[in-house]
Structure 1
Amino acid sequence: MRHDHDIITREEMIELTGTPLKSKQCEALRRAGIFFMERADGHPKTTWGHFLNPIKYRGQKEDITHENDEPDFGAIFDGRKAKESCR
C-alpha cells in the first residue's frame, strides 16, 4: 500500500509521465503543478502525496453548486425531466 510519504520510483515516474526522458518528466510535473526535486543527475523525485495533491490545486475552493439536492422524481416516473416551478 502506498503512503503519502512514499517516493515515486523511476519506473513509476516513467509510467505516470509517459516518457523515460528526465527533462520531459520534469516538464510534465511542472505543467501539472506537482512539487518535485530535481536531483543532481536530472531525475525528478517526488512523493505520492505531492502527486495526488498537487500544489497547483491546494487551497482552491470547489466550485460545486447544488440548486436542488433532491432527485428529479418526475424524470424517474415519467421518463422525462419535470417542468421547473415558477420562481
Structure 2
Amino acid sequence: MFMDGVHKVAKELVEDIDDANFSTTFKVIEGNLLKEYKEFKIVVKATPKSENSTSLIHWTMEYEKLKEDVPEPFSVLKFLVHLSKDIDDHHTKK
C-alpha cells in the first residue's frame, strides 16, 4: 500500500474474531508502522442496520507511539476509508 506517497508494508495477525459482536481485531506484527508505533491494532466491527440489510462498519485504531513527536496515523485512517469504499462498491455492483 502507498500512504503519503511512501510504500508501506504491514504484516497483520488476526488476534480475535468475535462472532457475537461481528468484530475482528488485527494486530500489526511487522512492517513500517512498527518503526513509529510500539503497538498497533485495528478493530473492524459490523453493526447490522436491520435483518437482511446493509451494515454500518466501524473502524477503531489502537496504537501506542514510540515517541511523543510521532504523528497521528491519519494516513492509515485515510487508507481504511478508501478500503471501506472499495468494499462497498464491490458489494453494491449488480
Q: Same fold by TM (over 0.5)?
A: no
The structure that is strand-richer by fraction is: 2
TM-score, structure 1 length as denominator?
A: 0.24
Q: TM-score, normalised by structure 2?
A: 0.23
Rg bigger for which structure? 1
| Structure with larger RCO (C-alpha < 8 A, sep 6+) | 1
Compare the two structures and name the one with the higher helix fraction: 1
